[in-house]
Structure 1
């Protein structure tokens, strides 16, 4: 119970992840699993500390896995990101193996397995949606879908993004870390504007026209799709590259000039509410 460290071997590499199991959680019935994917330069421990998922797990009754990317990054294309992309690491296989390992040890409900990701971790969440059938829904903050995804498995998506993000810009421009995918640490983030990507996802899922509401700086656009799926875009005007409602910045983060968490939205609560309403059918 509480937090614990684990490992799994994938493609000859020992990979690691943290697991949080609430002390009061009963394992007499199947339980939901959330896989929280850190951003580039982050870690499983950092994500566990910063984003509030353990508190949500205590409140709502689920377990959380926090995988560690090799060299603090995830491979989501041949050009992104960092050492894992350069070395051809199969992070989709790693996350799939993590879910399988946890499902062998805990009564994980296969209809309620979810992936959430920040930035580079959000990119990996999209890859999981495109290349596996494990997840009922994904939640992406300040991320992007890289590459083509013409026929994803039926899945619900919630995407949260700030309009002032200069690392993965909302309007599709190259971000400040983009190096066209060249050099020892490739970073190329393409794919066009975020709303266009969401529109394309809705088209693939055959969704109805979205319902839009705005409260303060936050605009939420929800499209309902066949099979009980939803595709939701949450746009926060003026917010940068951050996890809304996350822990206050450390002194080191302030020195690095990272964007402070937006206060207009609690992303973890919003994503969990979305997850809890979307179990995988069949």
Structure 2
């Protein structure tokens, strides 16, 4: 169901997927698409895998639409309109939560966020600027900006330990797995600037925010499908009493969201050995299915 909502002087839009009448106090998953996409476009891009999390009526999935295809994600050097015009995407997310708490009965204490690429950067902004708004997060094909590239308004917020899932391909042609700057062509086309941490350093960064001091445990994930030219590895940061952090490394994977989607070949290989949407639901404890 397509909806619109006013945020400041702008009318914003989003798509809600739910199964009939949601259970009282249902979970809410906010989904943030990548650059030059829309919520509906991301549904198609991922083969509608995230829609399945709404089955059973215990989770509502909301696909938010960025401003002119982008999110104001906090990367200060970027030059796309959402950043240049300082669009209030944090206020947009908050407004959607309020609307769906009223219309669908979602539990404001059970709000989760998932984002791909530019949308993943937006999720990381929410984790820093409004951590009390979320109960957990998942990020695909995005890494944490370094301190010199990350800028959010207001005084620094006290970190709130939250479960965080990260999924990243080692052959990502847009956001390098090893961190640093994006390719010159990608920076030009997407108007993105700044440098980022590597995917492993991003996982370690969020583990520190969760006060996890134990060393990570890494293991290979047995391949569930043959011939997709990828290999999977899972690194878990866990400690009793602390929310976990997990990095799924897709060796040979591109700038994609593993699962049934069919991204353009220019983005690299997609793994079909697992569904990132299903893993997100399981890892974050969404009450789905």
TM-score range relative to shorter protein: 0.7 to 0.9
Matched, 1:219 2:228: no
* Structure 2 unaligned regions, length at least 5: 223-230
Aligned to 1:89: 87
Match of 2:26 among 22, 31, 46: 31
Distance, in Å, in 2 between the alignment partners of 1:60 and 1:170 is 36
Say how many residue pairs are matched. Answer: 265
1:1-282 → structure 2 map (5 Å cutoff): 4-23=1-20, 25-27=21-23, 29-51=24-46, 52-58=49-55, 61-77=58-74, 78-80=76-78, 82-132=80-130, 133-146=132-145, 147=150, 151-176=158-183, 177-179=185-187, 186-207=191-212, 208-216=214-222, 217-225=231-239, 227-249=241-263, 253-254=264-265, 257-276=266-285
Q: 1:277 to 1:224 in 2, by over 3 A?
A: farther
Closer/same/farther in 2, CA of residues 185 and 261 from structure 1, 3 Å limit: closer
TM-score (norm 1): 0.86
Instruction: Provide the rounded CA distance (Å) in 2 between the counterparts of 1:64 and 1:267.
Output: 15
Mapped contact 2:29–2:59 kept (Cα < 8 A): yes
Cα offsets for 1:133-153 (capped at 9, x unmatched): 111100000012232777322
Q: CA deviation at 1:79?
A: 2.5
Q: CA deviation at 1:184?
A: 10
The alpha carbon displacement at 1:204 in A equals: 2.3
Following TM superposition, where does structure 1 have runs of at least 4 consecutive aligned residues deviating by more than 3 angstroms? 148-151, 183-186, 225-228
Relative contact order: is structure 1 or structure 2 higher (C-alpha 8 Å, sep ≥ 6)? 2
Gaps of 5+ in 1: none
| Alignment RMSD | 2.3
Distance in 2 (CA, whole Å) between partners of 1:277 and 1:211 is: 24
